[in-house]
Amino acid sequence: MRRAMSWAAHDVEELRRQLPPLEVELFEPEVAILNELAAVLDARIEAGLRAEDAVEEATSGAPTDLLVDVRARLLDGLAFDQRSVERLLDGQEGDRILVTESLTPSVVAALPARVVGILAAVSDEAALSRTGQTSHAAILARGRDIPLALAGLDYVRAVIDDALVVIDTTEATARIWTAPDAVLVEGARCRLREWAHGRAETEELVAAPLSHLGLEVHVNINSLRDYIPRSADGIGLVREPSSSSPGAASRPRSWSRSGTCSLWSAEPKARP
């Protein structure tokens, strides 16, 4: 267990060294979580639990995705394994959409540039309305302009490897197509070009950073759908990390996103 704890702590620090300052802040609590878990896990193992069971029990019902992230690190350390999307994409060409049953902040932080969208599973509809389940992962995805949509576990498991997938997160309720026709795909690509053009125009209007005054600007947002200017130095408070809003019956399959950027993508997907 101590080897796994040491490996997890080193992995967090190594990741933080590779991230820009705005993203490093999001992982600071994870270091403290690891330190607090050490005594808890030692006590449970001394009481007779297997190391893996102790980790699962101590991190069950996680109120934040950082705790889920810690659990994944510790279990990987116990299994002498280090999973990454980059390794899974070896030999696969083109842009991909990541389809995953478990999304953590570290997965998003380490995504290669050719991952242009994320479709992540939640265990039940109630999870869509609970805060914290994907909040840090969503903040990271939004900051990187990667659309993130949440869907039911069964739906995510049904997506076939290398299927063409379109994700629309331009509204509060995400829309997902797993078998789009050519017209829909072309329409998605046109919307993506329009979005990129509009974003570029918006960026030109954003005030320059206030570094010349010795000040940092951290923006408070009401939800993860709010636009965050690139000139901001960080995120202050998030009042609503995730939301739930069922889609209209006339629309394709849709679930509330734990929203990031307003972006379309239509690419083959990759499964972790």
236 and 190 together in one domain: yes
61 and 132 together in one domain: no
Given this model, what pLDDT does residue 254 score? Answer: 28
C-alpha 72: how far from chain center: 14
Give the amino acid at 240.
Answer: E
Please give the structure tokens belonging to residue 82: 């280090």
The total of structural domains in the chain comes to 2
68 and 167 together in one domain: no
The last residue of one of the domains, among 78, 111, 126, is 78
162 and 99 together in one domain: yes
> What pTM value is reported for the model?
0.69
30 and 137 together in one domain: no
52 and 137 together in one domain: no
pLDDT along the chain (272 residues), means of 10: 88 88 85 89 92 89 82 86 75 85 88 90 60 73 88 90 87 85 90 83 63 72 61 68 33 30 39 52
Given this model, what pLDDT does residue 239 score? Answer: 54
74 and 90 together in one domain: no
* CA separation for the pair 100, 157 (Å, rounded): 8
- Of the candidates 57, 62, 161, the residue with the CA atom closest to the CA atom of residue 103: 62
Q: Which residues does 84 contact at the CB level (< 8 Å), separation at least 6?
A: 110
Given this model, what pLDDT does residue 225 score? Answer: 53
Given this model, what pLDDT does residue 258 score? Answer: 33
53 and 155 together in one domain: no
102 and 207 together in one domain: yes
The last residue of one of the domains, among 78, 100, 118, is 78
Please give the structure tokens belonging to residue 229: 């200017």
180 and 236 together in one domain: yes
Q: Is the dihedral of CA 88, 170, 223, 212 positive or negative?
A: positive
The last residue of one of the domains, among 30, 46, 78, is 78
CA angle 94/268/81 to nearest 5° reads 80
What residue numbers bound the domain in which 264 lies? 85-270
105 and 124 together in one domain: yes
Q: Are 27 and 14 in contact (CB under 8 A)?
A: no
27 and 125 together in one domain: no
